[in-house]
Structure 1
């Protein structure tokens, strides 16, 4: 994707952190000149430089994916409109602040029951811990095993990761401060989320 140098992020650990935080991505592929896309929750395997996910078997997108034929996965974080009214000098144009990570990867479709079970177990444990749940996961095993027949797994060997984190790095500190103040005072959750990211980005400057 097009990324101006001011906004480019190349640190793999930061990109992995971003994917784990905003793990609901979109997998894009092409088959017979037709574009296909599916929204999926992804799991990161940093040690092996891989992503994992699973499709509903009823979703025919997985049938269009050829092993080792590269696909694209897009992850995006907080984003919002930025008004020139928040800058010191108003004679400029609006923009959009956002963060996104693109991953190019080689896919392998997974049908084996044991591998599917392991993938689902890891994904479920990860998210149950995040929500501090008391749900008895072990008690659900019999039904889970039956439902494994309804999904198809996908392993993605990462070929390339690139991130764009566009948060007014190309503006003055006063402009950055003005944007943060305006977004922080907004009632919109998206605005406040971007403000928090900007505060963390410029914590030693503004």
Structure 2
């Protein structure tokens, strides 16, 4: 990923937190010279030996999983807050529009999981995670019978992470006045999450 030094985002723990907050990613692999992509919810975890893994599952009917080569690297892309930035918001207006955005790219090797107990644990962990984050009150254990029936319709995947890189492009290369101009114009209607992230980055520098 092209990332000028002003926008580099390398802190591993912050990247893990980013992935947890923006966990719906795009999984890319290559088969017979052609790229293929599937949109999937992911979990990220650290193993007992300190390595990172991404956990996901496919609908079994999605044949993408059959074309994954365990000897080739795969890529998962996670997107965070983003927004159009007007040059009218800068103090110095002799410039052009841009787009502020955040992203994390993770590469690794994928292992396909068919073993039923492992699949069940993966799915239940994912449900618990998102029920907690959504303030839902549904207990995955209450749907255990239905979950058990549906396990035959999915295929699991574990990605052993080889490399992570992050990018936070939020006008860090511009003056303090220009950054404040952007923050002040990103109101609650336009892009509240971008405004929040820019304010956080600015506070970290002061």
TM-score range, shorter chain: over 0.9
Structure 1, unmatched stretches of 5+, are none
Q: 2:183 aligns with which of 177, 180, 183?
A: 180
Is the 2:53–2:159 contact (alpha carbons within 8 Å) kept by the matching residues of 1?
yes
Aligned-partner Cα distance in 1 for 2:85–2:59: 38
The equivalent residue for 1:63 is 66
Aligned-partner Cα distance in 2 for 1:205–1:102: 25
The equivalent residue for 1:197 is 197
Deviations 1:153-193 (Å, cap 9, x if unpaired)?
00000000000000010111110000000112x623xx221
Matched position secondary structure for 1:107: strand
The equivalent residue for 1:145 is 148
Aligned-partner Cα distance in 2 for 1:154–1:49: 14
| Number of aligned positions between the proteins | 203
TM-score normalized by structure 2? 0.95
Compared CA separation, residues 128 and 7, structure 1 to 2 (3 A): same
Aligned-partner Cα distance in 2 for 1:31–1:137: 36
The equivalent residue for 2:21 is 21
C-alpha RMSD over aligned residues? 1.3
Shift of 1:204: 5.5
The equivalent residue for 2:34 is 34
Is the 1:42–1:52 contact (alpha carbons within 8 Å) kept by the matching residues of 2?
yes
For the pair 1:91 / 2:94, whether they are aligned, the reply is yes
Compared CA separation, residues 204 and 7, structure 1 to 2 (3 A): closer
For the pair 1:158 / 2:161, whether they are aligned, the reply is yes
Matched position secondary structure for 1:54: strand
Is the 1:81–1:94 contact (alpha carbons within 8 Å) kept by the matching residues of 2?
yes
The equivalent residue for 1:49 is 52
Aligned-partner Cα distance in 2 for 1:41–1:192: 23
Is the 1:72–1:103 contact (alpha carbons within 8 Å) kept by the matching residues of 2?
yes
Deviations 1:44-80 (Å, cap 9, x if unpaired)?
1123310100000000111110123210000010111
Compared CA separation, residues 170 and 43, structure 1 to 2 (3 A): same
The equivalent residue for 1:76 is 79
Is the 2:124–2:140 contact (alpha carbons within 8 Å) kept by the matching residues of 1?
no
